[in-house]
């Protein structure tokens, strides 16, 4: 079964030097249970290359200070580096202006910012919010909280057995009460690539803004927010070779300017009296308190690194890994792939007949193979596909075909022990 997305075919770049790339990741030299680490949990968190580690060390040893308003050398240096990182993120996603990039603690924080800043101001009683069955809990729960508070209603786009959105049903959900759409770009559990550009165009034709959860897309494919024409786009640094505790929210400037701040204090303020507070301009209006300065600079280094490797080369190589792993796993009797969409990124969820996913993961760990097991924070997907949990292997551009072979051999070992 081939899962190559035909839209990626013209971009395939065989120049990606995997051996050279792997030399940048010191953690890949680790041994687990006396065996070489095979790290296939990249959808949860990817590993950090030496240039990003070095950048963090340089900041902490040579540049650290609090940013904004400081007149001394270190504060001015840290401020300049922090804002330079924002510009790198702007270029990475092709935002129109750097003030459209807000640093947050990650995708969840970004979605909560939109819910509080936009949703609480513009969504009211009787209004409807469209989500999809595929959504991560972090793009469900905030909107449930808003719906309960405002008396709004959530409507859900169904999926088919392959894990693809039923777009005809999506279009039928729209009516005069529809006020917002939230959709993930790529499914973290199944790897499905959703047709977000078409979904956004359909929503915009009806005056409805769209937030895209890009946590599983930004590390693996070219994201151009102007081409997508999304209103909001969120992703996390730790899934794209950067530090934890950092992410961004992209928002169209005209929308961000109309929104209420999510948190108060620090540099989000221009002036304060006990009678009234005047807020700062965007993006600072949404960056209360001392931000994660080192992490933001580290994320800037991470997008530099990904850009130098080549995001199209990364996408193409990861599809090759997925296709090879899919072909190999389909040769194992008793193993079923969960999620067989026509367009996927390099995520392979599966179940081994007669073996609980946690046991599969535990035994794979004894072979040095790191995978994720459980519901992957998408319990509605598990309910729809009638599986309590899956084992998930998620690949990155530093993985190899030989590691796929180790992973496949590990599954056969699991079967020998349990069946």
Positions marked catalytic: 377
Query: Would you call 186 helix, strand, or coil by DSSP?
Result: strand
Cα separation values, 17 from 13, 127, 314, 317, 400, Å: 10, 51, 10, 10, 11
**Look-up of token digits 């948190």:** 263
> CB burial class (10 A; 0-12, 13-18, 19+) of residue 175?
exposed
Instruction: Provide the strand spans (E) within 142-295.
Output: 153-157, 178-184, 210-213, 232-236, 247-251, 269-272, 277-279
Give the whole-angstrom CA distance, residue 270 versus residue 264.
Answer: 12
Give the whole-angstrom CA distance, residue 95 versus residue 218.
Answer: 14
**Look-up of token digits 């494919």:** 221
Give the whole-angstrom CA distance, residue 355 versus residue 374.
Answer: 13
Q: What tokens does 27 get?
A: 């953690």
CB atoms closer than 10 angstroms to residue 293? 23
Q: Taking Cα atoms as reference points, which of 375, 308, 418 lies closest to residue 24?
A: 308
CA 40 to the chain's CA centroid: 16
Please, are residues 219 and 309 in contact by the beta-carbon 8 Å criterion? Answer: no
């Amino acid at each position: 079964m081939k899962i190559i997305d035909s839209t990626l075919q013209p971009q395939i770049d065989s120049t990606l030097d995997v051996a050279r790339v792997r030399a940048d990741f010191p953690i890949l030299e680790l041994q687990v249970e006396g065996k070489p680490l095979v790290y296939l949990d990249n959808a949860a968190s990817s590993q950090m290359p030496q240039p990003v580690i070095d950048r963090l060390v340089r900041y902490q040893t040579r540049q650290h200070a609090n940013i904004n308003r400081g007149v001394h050398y270190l504060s001015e240096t840290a401020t300049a580096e922090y804002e330079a990182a924002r510009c790198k993120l702007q270029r990475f996603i092709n935002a129109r202006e750097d003030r459209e990039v807000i640093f947050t603690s990650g995708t969840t924080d970004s979605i909560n910012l939109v819910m509080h800043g936009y949703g609480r101001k513009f969504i009211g009683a009787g209004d409807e919010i469209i989500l999809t069955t595929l959504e991560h809990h972090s793009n469900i729960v905030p909107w449930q909280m808003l719906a309960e508070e405002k008396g709004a209603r959530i409507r859900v786009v169904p999926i088919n057995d392959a894990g693809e959105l039923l777009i005809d049903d999506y279009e039928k959900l729209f009516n005069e009460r529809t006020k917002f759409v939230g959709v993930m770009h790529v499914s973290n559990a199944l790897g499905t690539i959703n047709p977000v550009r078409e979904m956004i165009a359909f929503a915009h034709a009806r005056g409805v803004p769209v937030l895209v959860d890009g946590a599983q897309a930004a590390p693996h494919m070219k994201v151009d927010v102007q081409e997508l024409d999304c209103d909001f786009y969120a992703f996390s640094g730790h899934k794209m070779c950067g530090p934890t505790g950092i992410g961004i929210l992209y928002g169209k400037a005209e929308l961000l300017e109309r929104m209420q701040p999510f948190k108060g204090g620090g540099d989000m303020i221009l002036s304060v009296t006990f009678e009234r507070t005047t807020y700062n301009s965007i993006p600072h209006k949404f960056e209360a308190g001392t931000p994660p300065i080192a992490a933001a600079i580290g994320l800037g280094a991470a997008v530099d690194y990904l850009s130098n490797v080549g995001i199209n080369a990364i996408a193409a190589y990861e599809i090759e890994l997925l296709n090879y792993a899919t072909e190999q796993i389909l040769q194992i009797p008793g193993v079923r792939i969960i999620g067989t969409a026509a367009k996927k990124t390099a995520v392979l969820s599966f179940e081994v007949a007669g073996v609980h996913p946690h046991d599969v993961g535990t035994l794979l760990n004894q072979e040095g193979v790191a995978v994720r097991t459980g519901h992957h924070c998408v319990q509605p997907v598990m309910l729809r596909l009638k599986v309590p949990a899956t084992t998930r292997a998620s690949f990155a551009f530093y993985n190899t075909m030989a590691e796929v072979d180790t992973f496949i051999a590990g599954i056969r070992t699991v079967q020998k022990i349990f069946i």
